[in-house]
Amino acid sequence: MRTQSIRTKSNPAMPSRSYLKRLAHEQRLRDSGFKSLAILDLPPESQQENTLLGNGLDRTDYYMYDTFVVAANTAFPNKTAMFTTPQQGSTKNLAQTDMDSFGQLVAPEIMVVRAMRIFILGNITLTDLLALYTNVSVVFQIGKKPLWKGTPWMLPAGGGAFAQAAQVGTAPAGSAVVGNTNNGAPDIRNVYSLRDPHTINAGENFSVIFTTETAFNTQAAGVNPPGTGVTIVMALEGSLFQAVR
């Protein structure tokens, strides 16, 4: 039987870890339907805007996002699985989600997740935001394997509205207080970046699950400040690989 050995500086008889990881990655891409892997030999700056390789990969910066809403004076749902309801066949549109399939990427797409964000619409009351922080858990999973566990405050939005207000003397009749509540400072640098990116392959189930660990109701509209409900947008940030058109 003929064998072939690959020498490395650390161990002349064993292939390097990076070489093995490359082989495994190439095999996953073949299994996902890509016929040409030539793009992997290009430098990152060339991969970013490749538009010439037939049956190859085209990489773009991308957000996968999904939204769910809880009305004022309503029990927060016991469990909500995000990225499981695409636009087609639902009331959602591109302003709420960019999912095209139920909990999966459409073949042959591949997503490399490098950061995660939770955006909470800024009209949420502080009472509801604190209840969300202390009573709700978040789990990101691919297949049945949990890859991240935590609570909403651990995944700052890194963006959103920023409002300020001031009053000197007596407010005129009919005026209203201006306010905004953010999940963290609205700065693009204020996001949770993954030390080790996670890859979602085409046809692979994934979701982000919000679970109410301790039951609570959102604030009612008739109290002060009036409750407005909760709007949550979960975003996975990274690189989307698509077949070159």
For 41-48, which contacts have Cβ atoms below 8 Å and span 24 or more sequence positions? none
- Which tokens go with 169? 């003397």
Q: How many domains does the chain have?
A: 1
Angle at the Cα of 73 (from 68 to 78), degrees rounded to 5? 50
> How far is Cα 159 from Cα 202, in angstroms, rounded to an integer?
29
Contact 52, 244 (CB under 8 A): yes
Residue 1 lies in a domain: no
Residue 237 lies in a domain: yes
Residue 55 lies in a domain: no
Residue 101 lies in a domain: yes
pLDDT given at position 113: 95
Residue environment code for 77-103, b if the CB has 16+ CB neighbours within 10 A, otherwise e = eeebbbbbbbbeeeebeeebbbbebee
Residue 172 lies in a domain: no
pTM above 0.85? no
Percent of the chain having pLDDT more than 90?
A: 51
Residue 42 lies in a domain: no
pLDDT given at position 41: 43
- Residues in the chain, pLDDT under 70: 1-15, 18-19, 22, 25-56, 164-167, 172-178, 245
pLDDT given at position 112: 94
Nearest to 122 by CA among 211, 45, 233, 21: 233
pLDDT given at position 14: 66
Residue 33 lies in a domain: no
CATH of the domain at 97: 2.60.120
Contact 199, 110 (CB under 8 A): yes
Residue 143 lies in a domain: yes
Contact 67, 80 (CB under 8 A): no
Query: Which amino acid belongs to residue 162?
Result: F
Alpha helix ranges (H) inside 109-217: 126-135
Domain that holds residue 146: 60-161+178-243
| Residue whose tokens read 């394997």 | 145
